[in-house]
Amino acid sequence: MLRGDALGSLRPQMAVMTTDLAGVGRFEAIIVPHRSLSARGLRALLIALGLLGGLTSTLVWLMGAWPIIGFTGGEGILAIALLRYHARGVRETEYLLLTEAEMRVVRTDRHGRRRERVLPAAWLNVILRERQGRVPGLFLASHGLEEEVATALGEVEKRDLARALADSLRAARNPVFDNPQLQL
């Protein structure tokens, strides 16, 4: 079930799933950095920049100031290169999975390489460290191992994720048994 109730409104960069089935994930979150443009939007913006640069260069050339064309082309190329560099991070993701036995943190970088870290769930703690003038850090700690997670999220989303993860840990450690035979 989608956990929108405990998280307030879900942001587009974080999806959280929980389930209480034995052996299956008790908590699952997929975190992706905010994407300002889709691939189609980026392509449209790059085409618009190219056309605007071409139009500017043509107008400057017609006015007789042809040396300016090099500067116009240079700044256009720089803008396009920076936008393409920014768009390369489209594959970055962070996947958090809490099961009965472990907390699995799987990160995929912009090149598609995956790095996985497994923390034992028995003594897992969720730590939200306040930082002066910055977004707080969200850490998972267990047996001397510590891993910072959700670095792409803002303050509100990070606090919501910490609360949802702590609630899932609490529910896993304190199961509620509803046995009708034991009720009077």
- Ordered DSSP codes for 88-108: GGGG-EEEEEE-SSEEEEEEE
Chain segment 120-141, per-residue pLDDT in tens? 988 899 999 999 989 999 999 9
**What mean pLDDT, rounded, does the chain reach?**
82
pLDDT at 5: 34
pLDDT at 30: 92
Tell me what percent of the residues of the chain surpass a pLDDT of 70: 86
Q: How confident is the model at residue 16 (pLDDT cuts 50, 70, 90)?
A: low
Residue 92 neighbours by CB under 8 Å, 6+ apart: 32, 33, 107, 108, 109, 110, 152
| pLDDT higher than 90, residue 163 | yes
Q: How confident is the model at residue 13 (pLDDT cuts 50, 70, 90)?
A: low
114-120 own/partner pairs: CB under 8 Å, 24+ apart: 117/147, 119/143, 119/145, 119/147
Q: How confident is the model at residue 24 (pLDDT cuts 50, 70, 90)?
A: low
Architecture of domain 14-33+92-175: Roll (2.30)
Q: Where are the domains of the chain?
A: 14-33+92-175, 39-89
Q: Do you know the residue count of the chain?
A: 184
